[in-house]
């Protein structure tokens, strides 16, 4: 019975090591290269691409081994979509700056990580009256209760990192257009300040979620609900329980840990959306001002990148960011709910592919590169078929007396 979980655990560890070595270490080293080395490294794009393809190939094999063919198909499609985006970005797109390419790469990577964790952890959210529960239904491989909780926490943190990266992209576009002298904040060692920013946001989420680990009252309040709906014993369940109220002398009293967690999560999300909206409005005004002086090609690229950012924020916001805020606030209103929110988790996993498709469809240079890539692929297939047919015809001719 333990053989399959142990095998899956080894594969999961292999995937984590592969991702670290081939996808995150190379671009990080290349970004710091100019600060310490006197000569330029001119193969950054191909170097990153090879690492990406190696890591994704290993991930495909791992998914097929652990998840089976049906679940793996969805993840493989997401991997292919993000791999295509990175390939086009590094090998065919020349007008986008290296810094912005690196941001696109990071966003694609963490989006892919989110979908991979969703398959492995299988998280679920359930809203019940004055509470909502974030728990794992049935992880792919057997693990201890503490490890399941850690994986749930990792899934939430990757989601927060994606939101942070989107905010940083808006800030970068804002700085490029309105404060060009501050672009140095995104180069070399100065870029570490954005790493610190994301790390602080992640640390806040860790501190908030840890306060909502299961304890006697939250277990008592949700025990019957989880048993009736999922046939789960709450004592064996791994997750985070946010219960808004607790009766004290027959009076409903707000629980401080739940209030802090809910308010903190909502604040970090809304604060970053405020940054995106502010930068977006300023960028729009500035683009109208420079449209007369800038060249048509340059202005078109700036407009397309801005449209991409707006679409990348609008589409997920409508589907699950706004519903998430509503879910956070629902326990504090006098509502009787018993609603599984698995659909929102499903949208989470679809997001990485949508994000990549938006960028490749909106930006003209991506569309041209995609068309060239398709033409080359078709030409390669036609040449392969033609050569096979000619060799087969030659063989038949030689066999004929």
Q: Return the domain boundaries, the chain.
A: 3-387
CA distances from 376 to 4, 348, 363, 373 (A): 42, 33, 20, 5
pLDDT at res. 3: 41
Of the pLDDT bands very low, low, confident and very high (cuts 50, 70, 90), residue 328 is: confident
Q: Options 2.40.30.30, 3.40.50.300, 1.20.1070.10, 3.50.50.60; which CATH number does 3-387 get?
A: 1.20.1070.10
Rounded to whole angstroms, how far apart are CA atoms 126 and 117?
19
pLDDT at res. 302: 66
Rounded to whole angstroms, how far apart are CA atoms 282 and 297?
21
Examine the pLDDT at 111 and tell me if it is beyond 50.
yes
Q: Dihedral, CA atoms, 30, 31, 33, 35, nearest 10 degrees?
A: 180
Enter the tokens of residue 21. 């070595």
Residues 300/95, Cβ–Cβ less than 8 Å: no
pLDDT at res. 44: 47
Closest CA to 124 of 261, 263, 327: 327
Burial 35-48 (b: 16+ CB within 10 A, else e): eeeeeeeeebbebb
Rounded to whole angstroms, how far apart are CA atoms 141 and 147?
11
Rounded to whole angstroms, how far apart are CA atoms 23 and 90?
14
The tens digit of pLDDT for each residue in 129-168 reads: 888 899 886 655 567 788 888 889 999 999 889 889 888 9
Of the pLDDT bands very low, low, confident and very high (cuts 50, 70, 90), residue 211 is: very high
pLDDT at res. 291: 60
pLDDT at res. 24: 54
pLDDT at res. 58: 53
Closest CA to 21 of 12, 10, 9, 29: 29
Region of residue 395 (left: phi > 0; alpha: psi -120 to 50; beta: else): alpha
The tens digit of pLDDT for each residue in 21-63 reads: 555 555 555 555 454 444 444 444 444 545 555 555 555 454 4
Rounded to whole angstroms, how far apart are CA atoms 117 and 154?
8
Mean pLDDT of 334-363: 66
Q: Identify the burial level of 17 via C-beta atoms within 10 angstroms of its C-beta, where 0-12 means exposed, 13-18 middle and 19 or more buried.
A: exposed
User: Any idea which residue has 């996808």 for tokens?
Assistant: 23
Rounded to whole angstroms, how far apart are CA atoms 225 and 145?
20
pTM passes above 0.85: no
pLDDT at res. 293: 56
In order, the DSSP letters of 116-185 are: HHHHHH-EEEEEETTEEEEEES--SS---HHHHHHHHHHHHHHHHHHHHHHHHHHHHHHHHHH-GGGGGG
Pick the range with the lowest mean pLDDT from 47-51, 90-94, 134-138, 321-325.
47-51
Rounded to whole angstroms, how far apart are CA atoms 225 and 214?
15
Q: Percent of the chain at pLDDT above 70?
A: 56
Mean pLDDT of 216-224: 91
DSSP code at position 23: I
In order, the DSSP letters of 331-370 are: GGSS---EEE-HHHHHHHHHHHHHHHHHHHHHSHHHHHHH
The tens digit of pLDDT for each residue in 288-309 reads: 676 655 556 666 666 776 777 6
Mean pLDDT of 314-337: 73
Pick the range with the lowest mean pLDDT from 130-134, 167-171, 228-232.
228-232
């Amino acid at each position: 019975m333990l053989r399959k979980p142990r095998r899956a655990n080894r594969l999961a560890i292999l995937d984590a090591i592969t991702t670290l070595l081939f996808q995150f270490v190379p671009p990080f080293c290349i970004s710091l290269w100019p600060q310490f080395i006197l000569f330029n490294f001119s193969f950054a794009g191909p170097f990153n691409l090879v690492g990406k393809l190696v890591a994704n190939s290993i991930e495909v094999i791992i998914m097929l081994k652990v998840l089976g063919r049906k679940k793996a198909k969805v993840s493989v499609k997401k991997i292919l979509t993000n791999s295509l985006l990175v390939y086009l970005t590094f090998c065919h797109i020349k007008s986008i700056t290296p810094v912005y390419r690196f941001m696109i790469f990071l966003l694609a990577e963490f989006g892919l990580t989110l979908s991979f964790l969703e398959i492995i952890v299988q998280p679920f959210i359930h809203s019940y009256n004055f509470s909502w529960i974030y728990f794992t239904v049935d992880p792919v491989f057997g693990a201890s209760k503490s490890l399941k909780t850690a994986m749930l926490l990792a899934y939430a943190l990757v989601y927060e990192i994606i939101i942070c990266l989107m905010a940083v992209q808006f800030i970068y576009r804002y700085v490029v257009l309105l404060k060009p002298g501050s672009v140095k904040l995104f180069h070399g060692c100065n870029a570490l300040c954005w790493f610190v920013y994301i790390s602080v946001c992640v640390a806040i989420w860790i501190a908030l979620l840890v306060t909502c680990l299961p304890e006697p009252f939250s277990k008592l309040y949700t025990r019957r609900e989880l048993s009736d709906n999922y046939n789960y014993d709450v004592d064996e369940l791994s997750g985070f329980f946010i219960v808004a109220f607790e009766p004290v002398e027959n009076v409903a009293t707000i629980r401080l840990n739940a209030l802090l967690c809910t308010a903190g999560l909502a604040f970090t999300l809304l604060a970053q959306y405020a940054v995106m909206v502010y930068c977006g409005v300023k960028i729009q005004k500035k683009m109208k001002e420079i449209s007369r002086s800038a060249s048509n090609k340059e202005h078109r690229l700036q407009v397309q990148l801005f449209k991409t950012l707006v679409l990348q924020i609008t589409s997920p916001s409508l589907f699950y960011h706004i519903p998430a805020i509503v879910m956070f606030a629902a326990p504090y209103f006098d509502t009787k709910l018993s609603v599984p929110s698995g659909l929102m988790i499903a949208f989470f996993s679809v997001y990485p592919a949508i994000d990549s498709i938006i960028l490749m469809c909106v930006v003209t240079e991506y569309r041209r590169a995609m068309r060239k890539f398709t033409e080359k692929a078709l030409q390669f297939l036609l040449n392969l078929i033609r050569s096979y047919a000619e060799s087969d015809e030659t063989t038949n001719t030689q066999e004929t007396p």
